[in-house]
Amino acid sequence: MTTLPPFRNEPVLELRRATERSKLAVGLGELRLPLKVPVWIGREQRFGDELVSTDPGRPERIVALAAAASAEEADAAVATAQAAFGRWAATPVHERAAALLRAAAWMRERRASLAALALRECAKPWPEADADVCEAIDFLEFYARGALELQDPDGSQLLQVPGERNELRYVPRGVCAVIAPWNFPLAIPTGMTAAALATGNTVVLKPAEQAPGCGMRIVEALRAGGVPAAAIALLPGGGETGAALARNPAVATIAFTGSGPVGLELLRSAAEVAPGARQLTRVVAEMGGKNCIVVDSDADLDEAIPAIVESAFHYAGQKCSAAARVLAHEALHDALVERLAGAVAGLQVGPADDFGTDVPPLIERDAQQRVQRYAAIAGESGEIVTGEHDVPGEGWYVAPVVAAGLPPDSRVLREEVFGPLLTVESVRDVDEAMDRIDGLPVALTGGLFSRNPRTVQRVIERSPVGNLYINRSTTGAMVGRQPFGGNRLSGTGTKAGGREYLLHFVEPRVVTENTVRHGLVV
């Protein structure tokens, strides 16, 4: 375990090859639906059908029937995890890392069926679903190695002087409540859970209510890898289940990815210290953004247009990193709008299991209606430059939209739409674009297309975002390559997939020993 090979990202499938596509088709055929998802605490399971997850492309298809955890079950799960904490924390770090590596191998062996489940439950098109599984594997592999590095006891990071020995060590905090989103139903919950477990914490996982089946598979993988049953619980449920976890004073850390309002409520809840509490609850949060791409006058539109389309419309814009606004130099604004409209017209809207689909259905009816409302606002106050799209009648589909000419105070320019709607604005220069970006309260991702090194450096210095992408798409952050997390109201800047991420799940302790002893104990 101390001589693991260097971390390498799990390679995605080359889906232009028929042999690779056939592997995924086999995985889809292996799914036996509906899945039965329990409240799973220790070795006890309670099944039910209070939660129903359905295929967004065919809402009559039930993907999973899940029990919904009550507040009492949330407390029981925390109590079980708390009782198991001491033993898991005392487990040597190389054994914890080995459990994560075995869980990664379990996922690797079931890659096609896991991708198929993400496709059915969350309408992730095949390339996105396969990449979701790869990222989950990456998190397990990366954090296993990171935990080993974190516990290196050589003390070299502290100043040593004659007569004393100084050592910095990291210890786990306790029970971690993981509250996960649906848009990366395997990768993100696996990452948050793996980070907590690798550092010796126990975990209660509440998957998104739209994706309980994927949450169950994560727990199965970790238990198959050797994580004790009491150290990882599964709590399907809605917002009330997450709120019950956040209220529990025995929860030491809350790891959350989701909407801003929910994240802020979790921060408020964590700030209220319960009587008798023995530690502050730490919140690790990533809460979305209003992501802008700046296109300067010297940009190569042959490069910019495909990247913008990918950033805004792949997975129907349902990524927290997806592009929402384009701020284009006035010299090329009209040409960019015309070419964007043409590129978007060629996108295929359809079922996630069709290998040719670019824009799948949205996750649920509420999301469809929300995006349609924003599109209507954009059409009333600006101009919709994209034409009609053929959209399937069954499922939660929305045609991709590009809007231009919106007034500066438009809600569409400031609020997170989380769907296939992109706005384009004309700006005098890059500095005006950066002023508009600086006026936003959120700062997750951003993009720039420019061939001028001085412009690139100026934007780097001014950009407030957590992840800035230059001359490429704004989505597709890779574990170990682009550690991910937002600033301002986009979150706590936690940088998932980076070396420092594990520090959020531990407490540092310094031990100083006087090495000039006088006399010996007899």
Which CATH number fits the domain that encloses residue 82?
3.40.605.10
Task: Please tell me the distance from the alpha carbon of residue 395 to that of residue 143, in angstroms, as a whole number.
Answer: 38
Q: Based on the fold, state whether residues 351 and 260 are members of the same structural domain.
A: no
Name, in order, each residue with C-beta under 8 angstroms of 482's C-beta and a sequence gap of 6 or more. Answer: 467, 497
Catalytic-residue membership of 320: yes
pLDDT grade for 2, boundaries at 50, 70 and 90: low
Q: Which of 349, 421, 438 is nearest to 382 (CA)?
A: 421
Domain limits for position 148: 38-156+164-287+491-509
Look at residue 351 and tell me whether its pLDDT is greater than 70.
yes
Q: Is residue 264 part of a domain?
A: yes
The CA-atom distances, in angstroms, between 454 and each of 40, 421, 458 are 55, 31, 6
Look at residue 518 and tell me whether its pLDDT is greater than 80.
no
What's the pLDDT at 388?
83
Q: Based on the fold, state whether residues 252 and 361 are members of the same structural domain.
A: no
Catalytic-residue membership of 176: no
Q: Based on the fold, state whether residues 317 and 341 are members of the same structural domain.
A: yes
As beta bridge partners, residue 293 has 326, 447
Q: Which of 295, 245, 290 is nearest to 270 (CA)?
A: 245
Q: Is residue 207 part of a domain?
A: yes
Determine the average pLDDT of the residues in 4-9.
96
Look at residue 33 and tell me whether its pLDDT is greater than 80.
yes
Q: Based on the fold, state whether residues 75 and 210 are members of the same structural domain.
A: yes
Q: Is residue 6 part of a domain?
A: no
Q: Based on the fold, state whether residues 250 and 141 are members of the same structural domain.
A: yes
What's the pLDDT at 464?
98
Look at residue 483 and tell me whether its pLDDT is greater than 80.
yes
Stretch among 71-75, 165-169, 207-211, 348-352 having the lowest mean pLDDT: 165-169
Determine the average pLDDT of the residues in 293-314.
98
Measure CA 334 to chain center.
35
Q: Based on the fold, state whether residues 278 and 330 are members of the same structural domain.
A: no
Determine the average pLDDT of the residues in 318-343.
97
Count of structural domains within the chain: 2
What's the pLDDT at 154?
58
Q: Are 33 and 63 in contact (CB under 8 A)?
A: yes
Task: Please tell me the distance from the alpha carbon of residue 417 to that of residue 288, in angstroms, as a whole number.
Answer: 10
Q: Based on the fold, state whether residues 240 and 322 are members of the same structural domain.
A: no
CATH code, 378? 3.40.309.10
Q: Based on the fold, state whether residues 147 and 65 are members of the same structural domain.
A: yes
Strand order in 401-404's β-sheet?
383-384, 401-404, 421-427, 323-329, 291-295, 445-449, 467-470
Q: Based on the fold, state whether residues 263 and 319 are members of the same structural domain.
A: no
With 0-12 / 13-18 / 19 or more C-beta atoms within 10 angstroms meaning exposed / middle / buried, residue 173 is buried
Q: Based on the fold, state whether residues 318 and 230 are members of the same structural domain.
A: no
Q: Which of 383, 381, 414, 415 is nearest to 401 (CA)?
A: 383
Q: Is residue 486 part of a domain?
A: no
Task: Please tell me the distance from the alpha carbon of residue 262 to that of residue 251, in angstroms, as a whole number.
Answer: 17
Task: Please tell me the distance from the alpha carbon of residue 438 to that of residue 461, in angstroms, as a whole number.
Answer: 12
Q: Based on the fold, state whether residues 316 and 264 are members of the same structural domain.
A: no
* Structural tokens at position 512: 């100083």
Q: Is residue 263 part of a domain?
A: yes
pTM for this entry: 0.97
Q: Is residue 11 part of a domain?
A: no
pLDDT grade for 326, boundaries at 50, 70 and 90: very high
The CA-atom distances, in angstroms, between 241 and each of 360, 499, 515 are 29, 31, 51
Number of Cβ within 10 Å of residue 74's Cβ equals 28
* Mean residue pLDDT across the chain: 96
What's the pLDDT at 517?
76
Q: Is residue 517 part of a domain?
A: no
Q: Does a cis peptide bond (omega within 30 degrees of 0) precede residue 207?
A: no
pLDDT in tens, 89-117: 999 999 999 999 999 999 999 999 999 99
The residue from 10, 286, 416, 425 that is catalytic is 286
- The SS3 assignment for 283 reads strand
Q: Based on the fold, state whether residues 410 and 319 are members of the same structural domain.
A: yes
Q: Is residue 223 part of a domain?
A: yes
The residue from 122, 176, 292, 320 that is catalytic is 320
What's the pLDDT at 328?
98
Stretch among 57-71, 157-171, 180-194, 208-222 having the lowest mean pLDDT: 157-171
